[in-house]
Structure 1
Amino acid sequence: MTSRSAPDRLLSVLGAFDHEHSALSLTEIARRAGLSLTTAHRLVGALTAWGALERDRSGVYQVGLRLWELAALAPRGPALRQIALPYLEDLYEATHENVQLAVRDGTEVVYIEWISGRSAVGVHIRIGARWPLHATGVGLALLAHDDPARQEEYCAGPLAAFTPYTLTDPVRLRRQLAEVRRTGVAVSDRQVTDDALSVAAPVRGAGGTVVAAVSVVVPRSEAQVPVLAPAVRIAARGISRALGWRPERG
């Protein structure tokens, strides 16, 4: 077996943490990272000294504030969220439903902001959550404006199903993406849960490239897409302009 490099081992320690495993003992870190206990002890010690990990009084480790400070520098993370937040809040005030902002990472969307309505439909979303592109409104909005070759590669599958309504047929997915480009909004109907519908629109950067997507998620039984679509478009357009996009430039 090929030995792993020191950077790979360090990254495997950090990769041991996720939303379901946010607090781990040293033994758990070693097991999840595929490392010996001795190696894990040494690497965890170094990461803790630097601030990437923090250890509580019971000996359990969690992600440290130093990583949060670095993440705050990411242009597609907190920086984008800060610019977008006023427009997301306006969209929430207009709908009083769940409002989301997401970016693309490979074949998935990553949610970087979420405003939850008090009586809004329940969603399986939290900041940092990931879902396949084809199964969400924001994902469809992002995928529809991707490079045609990469778009076709994604449509070729495999396409995971979460409900009987999830788009898993490449032909239907391609048709849906064409409709997104035509209308400027993406509608995801019961694709993740069978009681929710989302309406999303793309957010463009200064050069006109789609860099994010914003959406509102409502109970499917109460969804009024013709009413929601203009509000979502206005929010996406406002964020785009705040990022420097001008229609005449792209």
Structure 2
Amino acid sequence: MPTPPEAKSPAPAVTRAAAILSLIAQEGRPLGLADIARRLDLAKSSTLNLCIALEQTGLLTRTELGYGLGRATVELGGAYVRGFDLIREFYRVCAASPVLQHELLQIAILDGTSVLYLARHEGRAPLRLSATVGDRFPATVTAVGAALLAEIDPAEVAARFADPSTLPSWTAHSTHTVEGLLAKLADTRDRGYAVDEGETNAGVYGVAVVLPPRRSGDEPLALGASLMKPSATPEYVRTVVAALREAKEQLTSPSLVVD
């Protein structure tokens, strides 16, 4: 992780504290004080003070393995997700669909060059290698990412992904060039839905549609399904896409808008 851009921050201590939380979240495990300080290029003494303050607020917890995320982060994350009205309806719609109730479904939002997963319906056979709530995946290799990026002007997409590091190759099928990404997004727009043909996981076939904002100022979300490749026959993919579109209509119905 790069050093926090303190020179541009109006509150460097807050920036450093946020960097500590982000680092531990990305690692997915507790980290020792020395490791945190080294990874963020911070003085060990100031890192200790920040960790103590974060522990006092419940944002960090200290264990014998080091500092991990505290319960307050769960409360904050839950409050953020509750701000999306349709996520509360997502689980009901999934359970009521004869097709989707059996599949692994996710809702994600675009965040820079990544997608952040906000909700997940397990279905009948959960995929352990697929993203779960709170995970970030590169937008370029996911169906939900392609669905959301296809809504953006191609020139902006090219600028956003000009840095090669934003185009990682997770499998041999991953889109890893700007030219390839723009071509994939053009196909997505023509097709009306996005696909992930083994780009995230070689054994998984993903499809996704965009959930347009229900209120002015809201950001679009994407609804995706992750299928095991052997079951992803052309006929079944069409069935799942039709079910996703039906779910989209239910989730974006004006009658569900909450003022």
Which of 7, 12, 36 aligns to 2:19? It is 12
Q: What letter matches 2:83 in structure 1?
A: A
Contact 2:154 2:182 in 1 (8 A): no
| 1:184 alignment partner in structure 2 | 192
Q: What letter matches 2:71 in structure 1?
A: L
| 1:221 alignment partner in structure 2 | 230
181-190 or 88-97, which moves further after superposition? 88-97
Which of 128, 132, 137 aligns to 2:143? It is 137
Alpha-carbon distance in 2 for matches of 1:55, 1:235: 42
Q: CA deviation at 1:238?
A: 1.9
Q: 1:230 to 1:134 in 2, by over 3 A?
A: same
Q: What letter matches 2:249 in structure 1?
A: R
SS at match of 2:54: helix
Q: 1:194 to 1:10 in 2, by over 3 A?
A: closer
Q: 1:174 to 1:87 in 2, by over 3 A?
A: same
Q: 1:22 to 1:122 in 2, by over 3 A?
A: closer
Structure 2 gap ranges (5+): none
SS at match of 2:220: strand
| 2:107 alignment partner in structure 1 | 101
Q: 1:92 to 1:116 in 2, by over 3 A?
A: farther
Q: What letter matches 1:236 in structure 2?
A: K
| 2:83 alignment partner in structure 1 | 79
Alpha-carbon distance in 2 for matches of 1:156, 1:8: 26
Q: Deviations over 1:85-105 (max 9, x none)?
A: 322334586351211111110
SS at match of 2:49: helix
Q: 1:203 to 1:65 in 2, by over 3 A?
A: same
Alpha-carbon distance in 2 for matches of 1:130, 1:122: 15
Alpha-carbon distance in 2 for matches of 1:14, 1:43: 10
10-19 or 196-205, which moves further after superposition? 10-19
Q: Normalised by the size of structure 2, how large is the TM-score?
A: 0.79
| 2:44 alignment partner in structure 1 | 37
Which of 166, 169, 173 aligns to 1:165? It is 173
Alpha-carbon distance in 1 for matches of 2:35, 2:97: 42
Q: Deviations over 1:97-141 (max 9, x none)?
A: 211111110011111122224435553322222222221110111
Which of 233, 244, 247 aligns to 2:257? It is 244
Overall identity of the aligned pairs, in %: 27
Q: Deviations over 1:175-234 (max 9, x none)?
A: 332232233211211111221111100011124776110111111222122111101111
What do you get for the CA RMSD once the two structures are aligned?
Answer: 2.8
Q: What letter matches 1:31 in structure 2?
A: R
Alpha-carbon distance in 2 for matches of 1:118, 1:166: 27
Contact 2:106 2:225 in 1 (8 A): yes
SS at match of 2:214: coil
Q: Normalised by the size of structure 1, how large is the TM-score?
A: 0.82
Residue-pair matches, total: 241
Q: What letter matches 1:218 in structure 2?
A: L
| 2:204 alignment partner in structure 1 | 196
Q: What letter matches 1:175 in structure 2?
A: A
37-46 or 83-92, which moves further after superposition? 83-92
| 2:242 alignment partner in structure 1 | 230
